Structures are given as C-alpha cells and as structure tokens.
Amino acid sequence: MSKGTLFDKVWDLHTVGTLASGQTQLFIGLHLIHEVTSPQAFAMIRERGLKVLFPERTVATVDHIVPTENQARPFADTLAEEMMQALEKSCQEHQITFYNVGSGRQGIVHAIAPELGLTQPGMTIACGDSHTSTHGAFGAIAFGIGTSQVRDVLASQTLALSKLKVRRIEVNGTLRPGVYAKDVILHIIRKLGVKGGVGYAYEYAGSTFEQMSMEERMTVCNMSIEGGARCGYINPDRVTYDYLKDREFAPKGDDWEKAVTWWENIRSDTDAEYDDVVVFDAAEIPPTVTWGITPGQGIGVDESIPTPDSLPDSERAIAEEAYRYMKLQPGDPIKGTKVDVCFIGSCTNGRLSDLREAAKFAKGRQVSTGIKAFVVPASEQIKKEAEAEGLDKIFVEAGFEWRNPGCSMCLAMNPDKLQGDQISASSSNRNFKGRQGSSEGRTLLMSPAMVVAAAVNGKVADVRELLP
Ligand SMILES: CC(C)[C@H](C(=O)O)[C@@H](O)C(=O)O
Ligand code: SF4
C-alpha cells in the first residue's frame, strides 16, 4: 500500500486510470441516491439505452420531499408525489434497493447509510447531495456530485475527478460543558471561511475528534462542504469499529477481522505530508450561533454581531447584505434575539445522540408561548430508538411536536416551511437566504441543545445557563 494520508491511499486504491483530460477515473464503491438529484440522471441513461452497471453498489432512499406529518399516498404536493413515483419506478426498473417510507430503514440518506453499516472505512462514496461529506466520519472518501455525475456513476460506477489537496485540521483538548461537535465545525468555518476549503479534503485530527462518538464525528464531517471542502474525514479507530460491528451490512466473522486489519492500514501515516495544517484549542470554542446568511458568519453566543469595521475587507460586503436580510444590527448581542420557530433535525444534528442531548435540556421545561418547536428524527430507526427511550414523550411534554423522519425544514422541500420573515433557531447546516421555505425567512444555526435553550426562552439563549 502507498504511504501518506488516508486520502492519498484511498484515492490510489480506487484509481482506474488517468483520463486524457489529466483527471483521474475513480471507482466509486457505494452510490447513494435520493429523489431530488436522480430522476434526470436515470432519464439520461434511459435515453442512451444504458443500464445501471452495479445495482448492488447503489442504494436509494427518499428524504427531501417527505412530509413529516401526513405521509399518506398520494402526497398532497403533486410535485413531491411525482418525484417519489419516479424514484420508485427507476429503482424497480434497475433492481436497486430502495428504503421507502415505512420500511423501517428510510431516512435522510446520510443517516441511514451509516446506521445500516453501508458506510465503511476506506470506501469511495458518492451521492448527488453536497452533504455526502458526512460519511468521511468513517474514514471514507465521500463527496457530493451533480446530476450529470450521478448519471456517470449509474452507468460506469466511476467518476472523472481531479485530486484534492489535504489540509489537516487539528483540534486538541476537551470541549467545555455546553459545547458540542456542531460548535467545533461552526468555529472551524468561522475561522477558515466558507471558501477556505476549496480544493481541499479536510482531515480532522487531534484528541478532540478522537474523543468524539461516531455521531459527533458525522456532525463535523457533514459541514465540511460548508467550509468549501468537497470532503472531510477522520481516520478510523476503535470508536469507528465499535460503531460498525454487527450492523446489517458490516463485514461478519473472519471478514470482520480482515476488514479491521485493512482499515488500520489505510489510516494516515504518522509521517504523512499535508498541503496545510491548522491547529485549534478545544477549550477556546464557545457555543456558537450564526447571525448572518452564510455558515461562516458565526459568533460565540455571548458575543455581539460584528460591526463592519471589525471585519476584514473581504467580509464586509457579505456582512452588509446579511445585516439587511437578517434585520439585525451590527454591535447588538446575538443573545436575546427573538425567535419564532425552533427546529431540531437534519443530517447534521438529527441523530439519536442529538435527540438525547436536546431532551436532557427539554425535560421539565416548557417551550415559550408563541414559539413553534418541533423535532424531526433523521431516520425511521432513530425515531424508533428515541421512542423506546421515551424521548418523544419528553419533547411532547415540553411543548415540542414529534414528527416523522426526513430533511424537513432544513431545506423545506416538504410542507415544513417558515412564514414571512420568521426567524428560526435551527440545528441544520445552511442559513442561506430563503433556505427554510420563505423568501424572507431567517435562520440561526446552532447545536440542538442551543435550539432547546432558544425554545424555552423564546430567544437566543446560552445553553450553559441551563446546565445542572
Ligand atoms: C437537494 C440536494 C441536491 C441539496 C444538496 O446537494 O445538498 C440538499 O440536500 C441541500 O442540503 O441543499
Ligand atoms: S437534511 Fe438538509 S442538508 Fe441534509 S440532505 Fe437533507 S436538505 Fe440536505
């Protein structure tokens, strides 16, 4: 095996050849598909009379358009129903496994592949979805692709790609109470910028990530793309193997031992060379909230919205645009900003550990009057597990609604939408203009625990004040 970073090794092992363009033809071990970016890709292969080359390496689910309340078919939204039928038909035609609503395995694509054990170290994974970077938490090279690339993978199981540089992002130390994986990644993006990672794969390393659970690692890798990095990964270790062991599609018996040996070999070598190295101290990371219209516009919950003169030239224009859109004043504290909607869910923070942590703070408290607060587990399996622990009851008693799995208000391609210029406290990953279903809707990104703090206070609050 070649020496170097995990990225280099996995890249080399999956290289089919070099194309005339100079790009690499890279073999894709696992292709995940969903209803939004696959219909046109299927139409394109159909037009050319092509087949799906490796249906057994292709797995589908439905997540973006599913209603989280009434899931009766046909869906009330005819466009959603059409997308659903298109996916059902394509999967049937090409013998692709489809985890449909009610299968017990449906959910946000980036939640179900790990929980089924499909996502494994050393793999190349592609999906027509930018947050495919999530799967890097397992030491896979996983990235989002566009519809024409979905076509390429369906037809050839390969992609034409240019190799990325690798930046090692080291975070060391223990996170302070009330500070979560979400704050770590929001902090990294705040410091390195939303375009800082363009051209790079991010390798997250250091004791902070080593101490994280797989779910926390997924939260971090998920938002690599918001920092401009096409993929982000963490070297596999005992935590990874313990998570994967005995999952449905994980290797079994002798194959398991062989797999672990191989996974150990693909870890970045200690003397690997990086194109860049950045180091952060975990103790300096505060509970972070975004105030603007990019995930890079984050501040500590006890900081004030930056004034134009405190910002570097390159950030001023987008800050001006953000003050106008968000209707927030530079210099004002973010804490105390009134919110209307509180959303816990998404592929960033809709997993069991997120719901458990949020429930700890919701227990025995009440959602403030006039606030709409709701919890959307990322998958059917997570929903079931959460209910078995009684988390649903804690949320409902506190005044949250408990919904069915899907992307929901992360992107609002389903009925869960902000109205007018409502402000949401959201555990999702994007605060772009109009992201949550209203062209004037405003989004404040934060950890699930911070969303609960906002829900019970009716305004942005510091979760540390709720700590026992
Ligand atoms: C719909 C899909 C293509 C999109 C993405 O690529 O990320 C969505 O998941 C998002 O989060 O904006
Ligand atoms: S939860 Fe949000 S970010 Fe994740 S795949 Fe769905 S829409 Fe995209």
pTM: 0.98
Span 5-24, mean pLDDT?
98
Is a pLDDT exceeding 80 seen at residue 1?
A: no
pLDDT in tens, 316-339: 999 999 999 999 999 999 999 999
The domain locations on the chain are: 6-161, 165-241+260-284, 288-461
Q: What is the mean pLDDT of the chain?
A: 98
How many other β-carbons are positioned within 10 Å of the β-carbon of residue 102?
A: 11
With respect to CATH, is domain 288-461 assigned 3.40.30.10? no
131 lines ligand 2 (CB under 6 A): yes
Encode pLDDT of 17-27 as tens digits.
999 999 999 99
Which atom number of ligand 1 is nearest to the Cα of residue 435?
12
pLDDT one-digit tens code per residue, 267-323: 999 999 999 999 999 999 999 999 999 999 999 999 999 999 999 999 999 999 999
Residue 127, marked binder: no
CA 176–ligand 1 middle distance (angstroms): 32
Which homologous superfamily does the CATH classification assign to the domain defined by 165-241+260-284? Aconitase, Domain 2 (3.40.1060.10)
Mind listing the pLDDT tens digit for each residue in 383-404?
Answer: 999 999 999 999 999 999 999 9
**Tokens standing for residue 72:** 């009766």
Helix axes 391-398, 380-388, angle to 10 degrees: 80
Q: pLDDT tens digits for 153-198?
A: 999 999 999 999 999 999 999 999 999 999 999 999 999 999 999 9
Is 131 near ligand 1, meaning CB less than 6 Å away? yes
Note the pLDDT of residue 3: 83
C-alpha of residue 131 to centroid of ligand 2, in Å: 7
Task: Indicate which atom in ligand 1 lies nearest the CA of residue 410.
Answer: 11
Tens of pLDDT along 235-246?
Answer: 999 999 999 999
Pocket lining: 64 vs ligand 1, CB cutoff 6 Å: yes
**Residue 342 counted as an annotated binding residue:** no
Is the pLDDT assigned to residue 350 strictly greater than 90? Answer: yes
The answer on pLDDT for 2 being more than 80 is: no
Q: What percent of the chain shows pLDDT beyond 70?
A: 100
Domain 6-161: give its CATH code: 3.30.499.10
* Ligand 2 midpoint to CA 407 (Å): 5
